[in-house]
Structure 1
Amino acid sequence: MYYPEDLVEEIRQRNDIVDVVSEHVKLKRTGNNHMGLCPFHNEKSPSFSVSGQKQMYHCFGCGVGGNVFTFVMEYENYSFVEALKYLAERVNITLPEQEYSEEAKKKKDLKGQLLEINRQAAKYFFYQLKSERGTIAYEYLTNRKLSDETISKFGLGYSNKYSNDLYQYLKQLGYSDEILKQSGLVSIDETKGAYDKFWNRVMFPIMDVNNRVIGFGGRVMGEGEPKYLNSPETLLFDKSRNLYGLNVARTSRKHNMLICEGYMDVIALHQAGFNNAVASLGTAFTGLQANLLKRYTSEVLLTYDSDGAGTKAALRAIPILKEAGLSIKVINMQPYKDPDEFIKALGADEFQKRIDEAQNSFYFEIEVLERDYDLNDPEQKTKFFNEVAKKLLVFTEEIERNNYIEAMDRKYHVGFDNLRKLVNHYGATLVPTQTVIKKVQERSNKRVTAEDSMKQASKLLLTWMIEDIRLFQKLNGVISEKDFDGELYQTVARMLFQQYKEQGQVIPAKIINQFESKEEQSEVASLFSTTFQEEMSMLEKEKALNDLVYRIKKYSLDLRSRNVTDIEQMQSLIKEQVDLQKLHISLIDG
C-alpha cells in the first residue's frame, strides 16, 4: 500500500530522531549532535552521530546512515511500510486503511510474500505433526518430555517422508516456482524437478523479535545427515543476525539472558520456567548476535554443552560478547551435558542454583587453560603463568586489571607483584607492533586519488551548505549540481537546490527518503555528515570556503574541457575559467 508523501513527511517530522534513537541507543550530547556506540557494529569508542538539526544519523565507523525511517528499518529489520506504521503509532497518527485489489495483492513486496509463505509452511508442518503421518515426530517430542502446551507455544511441526508435499501444498495456494525457490523451502532442479528442502524432520519455526516466521530448523527422524538442518540464507533469514527464542526471551523481564547451543535446550528451559533462554542458529556466535542481545540485556549466562565442543564454543563466544559490552558468566552443568539433560535429571530448582553460582567468564577461561598444564612441573607452571599474564591484558583499566591480578594471586599464590610485572612486560611488547601498524595505516591513508579527494571536497561543501543555508544564495551562478562529481552527488545537489528554491530551506532527512536502498541512504547521509574544523575565525572560514569552491569548480571545468565538442561549449568553458580566477565569496557581509 502506498501512502501520500505529505503524510509520510508528517510522520517523519513528528518522530524526532534523537528521541527515537535514544530509546535503543545510549546517547550523549556532544556539541550540536548526540554520540553513542553504533548498534550496527561492534565498537568501544562512540562513532555513531545523531543530528537533531538535520534529523539524521551517521556512523563514522561503519558508514551506515539515514533518517528516522532508515534507523527503524535497519534496527528492527522492518520494511518501509512496517517502519511507517510503527512510527505512526508512536505519535498517535492513524494511517488510512485500504482494501487491496487483486492487482495490488500481486504487487505486495517480496518480503511480505515470503513471510506469508513461511507462515503457511509453519501451519502445514504443525498440522502434519498432529496427523497420523506425524506420529514418529510427536512421539519423539513427548519422549523428550515436552508438553502439548510447549509444542504449540513454539509451533513445532513435522515435514513428512514425501519429498514434495510442502511444494504441492504451496503451489495450490498460488505461489510460483520462482518465489518458492527464493523462500528456501523448495529446491528446483532441471533433472530432479521440485522437491522440499525439509522432509522426515521435526520442524522448529524460527521467529524474529516480532514473532514472524523467517526460517526453519529441522531435526532428522532416524538415521540421516545432517542431524540438524537450517533454512538457507534468504531475504528474511540471516543466521548471523537472529537468535532462536528471542521473540519470547526479550519480554521475560529478567535482568539477564541464557545462551544455549540448541533448539531443544531453549525449549526445555522455557518449559521449566526459564523464559529468558535463546540459542544461536547452528553457527558460531557472531558479533551481530551479541549486539542484538545488547538491546535487551546487559548480562548473559552461557549454558553451552559441557563437552569439549561446548567448551570451545564458549571460549569463542566470550570475547565477542565482551566486545559488545556485555557481562558474561558461565553455568556449570556437570555431570550433565546440556540444560535439557540437567533439568530432566535434577529439575528447575537445581538449575536455578547453578545460575546463582555461575562463574565469572575470566575465571572460566583460566580454569580451561589450566587443564593444559601440569602445575606440579615448574616449567609447565611458568608457561601457565605467562599465558595468564597475556590474558590479563584484556582488561584495559588499571584498577580492574589489578583486581584480577589480585584474584589470580589468591588462587595460585603467584605473588601480586610478580604477576603484575609479567603483565606489564607483555603489555610493553605490544606497543611497537601497534605503532608499526599505525604508521602503515597512516602511509596508506596518504595515497588518496584525485577522485577521492574531490569526493571528500564535495561532501564537505554539501555538509557546509545545509549547515549554513546562506551559501545557496552566495553560490548561485558559481556552483551547480553539474559541478559535483558522480551521479549520486549531482542528484543530491539538485534536490538540495530545488528544496531551497521552493521552500527557502533544506531538509536533509526528507531527501534521504527519495532513495530506496540502504546503501544509497547511508551514502547520502555521509554527504551531509562530513566534519570540518569548527574552531575558525570568520576570515579563516571564508578562506577555507573559497579554496573549497575553487577546487570543486576547477576540477569540474577540467573534466568537462576534455569532452568539449564544439566552439560554443569551448567559449562557455573559457568564460567560466576566467570567472573562476576572480572568485571571491564573502561570509562577513552576511
Structure 2
Amino acid sequence: MYYSEDIIEEVRSRNDIVDVIGGYVTLKRRGNSYMACCPFHHEKTPSFHVNRDKQMYHCFGCGVGGNVITFVMEYENFSFPEALKMLAERAGVALPEQNYSREQRQRENYKMVLKEMNRTAAIYFNYLLTATSAGKHALEYYHDRGFSDETIQRFGLGYANIYENDLYQYLKKQGYTDAQMKDSGLVRIDERRGGQDMFWNRAMVPIMDINGKVVGFGGRVLGDGTPKYINTKETAVFDKSHTLFAMNIARRSKRRGIILCEGYMDVIAMHQAGFDNAAASLGTALTMGHATIVKRYTDEVYLAYDSDGAGRKATMKAIGIMREVGISTRIIDLKPYKDPDEFIHNLGKEAFEGRIADAVTGIVFEIDGIAQGYNLRDPEEKIRFTKEAAKRLSALDEPVVRHSYIEAVAEKYKIDAADLKAMVTRYGTIGLQTQTTNMDDTARPVIATPPPEGNRNPRDEAADRETQPQRLLLTWMVGKPELFGQLEGILTEEDFIDEDYHTVAKRLFDQYRDSGTVNPAAIVNLFEDIEKQRLVAKILQTELDVEITEDEKERVINDLVRKVKMARIDYELAHIADNPEKLPEVIAEKARLTKLHISLKNG
C-alpha cells in the first residue's frame, strides 16, 4: 500500500458513499439503506444495496461489494492509487508523496513511461489511419470488414506506415530514448541500421489492460506478407498470459456471462453488433491466468472459437481450464461459418442471439467430441463410446445433474438409460475407491476426476465450509457490535485462524477497544485486491434480517464461538511440535470448550 492508512481513511471518510454512487446510478431509499439496479450486471429487480451508516455497498445478485474506493475502482477501471487520487481531488484532500522505496518508484515510473509511450503510439497510428492519405488502404480494409467509423474510433484502430522506421522517428521526436523504445516492444535497435519498427504496413489494434491503459498492439499485415498477425512481445507492462483483449470493456457489460473468441477482429465485430461482453486471448492459447481474470467478473463463459479442427481442440482445452477455476462453459455453434465475424456478417445479430440461446454445455460438447471418434453404427465401437461417455458422466457429483445428463445422452445416442446409469455408477464407484486407496493417513483426498460442470472445485467448497463459522461470526459481530463486549475474555482475534478473516477480526477488535464501536468501511482499505475487498464487503455488509428470539440468538452465537475456537485449537494441536510446552494448556482449553456457555441475556 503506497499511502498511510490515516490518509486513506481521511479520503474515504470525506467522500460519502451515497453521494458518490448516486452520481453514477439512481438510488432509491429503502429503510436504512439505498437500492438500485446493479451497475455491474444486468438485472430488472434491484439487488444493489448502499448503506450510509456502514459506508458500504453490496450486490446480492453478482457479489460485488466494498466501500467508496472499491466502487470507483470497479466502475472506472481504476487501480487503487488512481481511485484514491480521484476521490482525494473530489474532497479537496492533498495526497502526500507516495511511500515507494527507491526501487519501487523507479520500477513504477518506468512502467508509466512505457504505458504513456504505447498511448502516444496508439494516437499516432490512429492519426495515420484517419487523417492522412497514407492510411487510406488500411481504412478501406477496416471498412471492407464492416467496421464503422464509430467502431474504429471506439477501439482506437490505426495504421503503421509503410516505412520501417516511421514510428521510431516519431517517438524519438517525442523525447523517448532508444532503450525505452526497445523495452516497449515497439522498436528493435540495430547497431548498424539504428531503430526499426516492429510494426509497419499493418492495420493496428491497441491492446489495453483491465484498467483501460494501452500496453501493447496487434498488427494485421496489409497485403500478402507474413506473418499475417503479430502482437507486441512480452514487456514489463504486457503479459500475454494475463491479458484479454477488450476485457476492460467486457467486464462492465450488462449482458450475461463473457463470450471468449480467438481473435481481436472477432471481438471488434461482436462489440459493433452489440455483444460488448466479448473478449479474446492474444496470439496464445487460453491460460489459467486468463481464466482467473474472467472468474473475477463471471461464473459463466460462452466459447465462440473457430469451428475448424484447431478451434474445436482449443475449445476442449478451454473447457477444462474453466472447469478448474469453477466457471461453467457453453459452446456457441458457428457453423456453417468459421468464426463470429463471418457469422454475424452473413447472418446478422439476431441469428447470433439465437446461437447463444442454443449454446450447449461443456459436458455435452465433450461427449459429442468423444462420439466423433467412433463409428456408432458398429456395435463394438458404440460400446467403447458408451464406456467413455459413462466415465465422463461419472464425474458429475450432483445426482439431479448426473441423472439429467444420463437421460439426455441416452436419448441422443440411442443407449438404454438404465444400462448407461449402471455404467456411470460403476465408474463413479471405481473412482472413489481409487481415491481412497491412494491416500495415506496424512494425505488429503486427491480429486481423480474433473469437478462437475458449473460447480466449484471441491477443495474450494471444503475450504469455504471450514472458514464459514469465522465468516458468520464476524458478520454477527459487525451487525450487533454489542457482542464484542459480551464476548470479552472469551473470544479474541487470535481465534480467527484464516489469514484474511484474522486481518478483519484484528481490526474490528482494535476499533472496538479504542472507541467502543466498529467502522467496517475503513477495514476494506486494508486490501487493494478487488477479490479480497469483495470478500470483506460480504462479511461487513450482510444484513441480519432474520427474526429470532433471544434464546435462538444465544444458541447461534454459542455454536459459532465453539466452532471457531475449536478450529483454532485443532490447528494448534496439529502444529504442537512447534510449541510442545503448550500441549497441556491446549488440551485443558479443549476440555473447557465442551462446557462453554455464553449468556447474552443481560448483554
TM-score scaled by structure 2?
A: 0.60
Query: Equivalents in 2 of 1:507, 1:191: separation in Å?
Result: 64
Which residue of structure 1 lines up, in the alignment, with residue 333 of structure 2?
331
Query: Equivalents in 2 of 1:519, 1:355: separation in Å?
Result: 32
Contact 2:302 2:331 in 1 (8 A): yes
Query: Which amino acid in the other structure matches residue 237 of structure 2?
Result: L
Query: Equivalents in 1 of 2:509, 2:402: separation in Å?
Result: 55
Query: Equivalents in 1 of 2:313, 2:184: separation in Å?
Result: 33
User: RMSD of aligned C-alpha atoms?
Assistant: 6.2
Query: Which amino acid in the other structure matches residue 151 of structure 1?
Result: I
Query: Equivalents in 2 of 1:6, 1:350: separation in Å?
Result: 50
Which residue of structure 2 lines up, in the alignment, with residue 489 of structure 1?
none
Query: Which amino acid in the other structure matches residue 321 of structure 2?
Result: I
Which residue of structure 2 lines up, in the alignment, with residue 388 of structure 1?
389
Contact 1:246 1:277 in 2 (8 A): no
Contact 1:249 1:278 in 2 (8 A): no
Q: CA deviation at 1:316?
A: 1.6
Contact 2:307 2:333 in 1 (8 A): no
Query: Which amino acid in the other structure matches residue 394 of structure 2?
Result: L
Query: Equivalents in 2 of 1:262, 1:520: separation in Å?
Result: 31
Which residue of structure 1 lines up, in the alignment, with residue 160 of structure 2?
159
Query: Equivalents in 2 of 1:172, 1:196: separation in Å?
Result: 15
- The one of 90, 95, 102 aligned to 1:95: 90
Taking the TM superposition and a 5 Å limit, the aligned residue runs for 1:136-535 are 136-177=137-178, 179-188=180-189, 194-208=195-209, 211-221=212-222, 222-225=224-227, 227-235=229-237, 238-244=240-246, 247=249, 250-251=252-253, 253-290=254-291, 292-293=293-294, 299-322=300-323, 323-334=325-336, 336-344=337-345, 346-348=346-348, 351-352=351-352, 355=355, 358-361=358-361, 362-436=363-437, 438-439=439-440, 442=443
Query: Equivalents in 2 of 1:519, 1:352: separation in Å?
Result: 32
Contact 1:156 1:203 in 2 (8 A): yes
Percent identity over the alignment is 41
SS at match of 2:443: helix
Q: CA deviation at 1:427?
A: 0.8
Query: Equivalents in 2 of 1:99, 1:420: separation in Å?
Result: 68
Q: CA deviation at 1:9?
A: 5.5
Query: Equivalents in 2 of 1:350, 1:511: separation in Å?
Result: 47
Which residue of structure 2 lines up, in the alignment, with residue 116 of structure 1?
116
- The one of 1, 4, 11 aligned to 1:7: 11
Aligned residues: 495
Taking a change above 3 Å as real, the CA distance of residues 118 and 329 of structure 1, as seen in their structure-2 partners, is same
- Unpaired runs of at least 5, structure 2: 22-34, 42-52, 59-65, 96-104, 446-473, 490-503, 538-554, 580-597
Q: CA deviation at 1:416?
A: 0.8
Per mean C-alpha deviation after superposition, the further-off stretch among 235-244 and 511-520 is 511-520
Taking a change above 3 Å as real, the CA distance of residues 186 and 411 of structure 1, as seen in their structure-2 partners, is same
Query: Which amino acid in the other structure matches residue 223 of structure 1?
Result: G
Taking a change above 3 Å as real, the CA distance of residues 370 and 128 of structure 1, as seen in their structure-2 partners, is same
Query: Which amino acid in the other structure matches residue 385 of structure 2?
Result: F
Query: Which amino acid in the other structure matches residue 128 of structure 1?
Result: L
- Unpaired runs of at least 5, structure 1: 26-51, 58-65, 101-105, 445-462, 475-491, 526-533, 559-586
Query: Equivalents in 2 of 1:415, 1:82: separation in Å?
Result: 61
Q: CA deviation at 1:385?
A: 0.6
Query: Equivalents in 1 of 2:302, 2:419: separation in Å?
Result: 32
Q: Which has the larger radius of gyration?
A: 1
Query: Equivalents in 1 of 2:308, 2:359: separation in Å?
Result: 17
TM-score scaled by structure 1?
A: 0.62
Query: Equivalents in 2 of 1:76, 1:428: separation in Å?
Result: 50
Contact 1:12 1:69 in 2 (8 A): no
Q: CA deviation at 1:409?
A: 1.4
Q: CA deviation at 1:410?
A: 1.2
Q: CA deviation at 1:194?
A: 4.3
Q: CA deviation at 1:70?
A: 7.7
Taking a change above 3 Å as real, the CA distance of residues 195 and 96 of structure 1, as seen in their structure-2 partners, is farther
Deviations 1:479-507 (A, max 9, x none): xxxxxxxxxxxxx9x99999999878898
SS at match of 2:119: helix
Deviations 1:503-549 (A, max 9, x none): 78898986896899999999x99xxxxxxxx99999x99xx99x99x
Taking a change above 3 Å as real, the CA distance of residues 259 and 56 of structure 1, as seen in their structure-2 partners, is closer
Q: CA deviation at 1:443?
A: 7.9
Q: CA deviation at 1:431?
A: 1.2
Taking a change above 3 Å as real, the CA distance of residues 537 and 205 of structure 1, as seen in their structure-2 partners, is closer
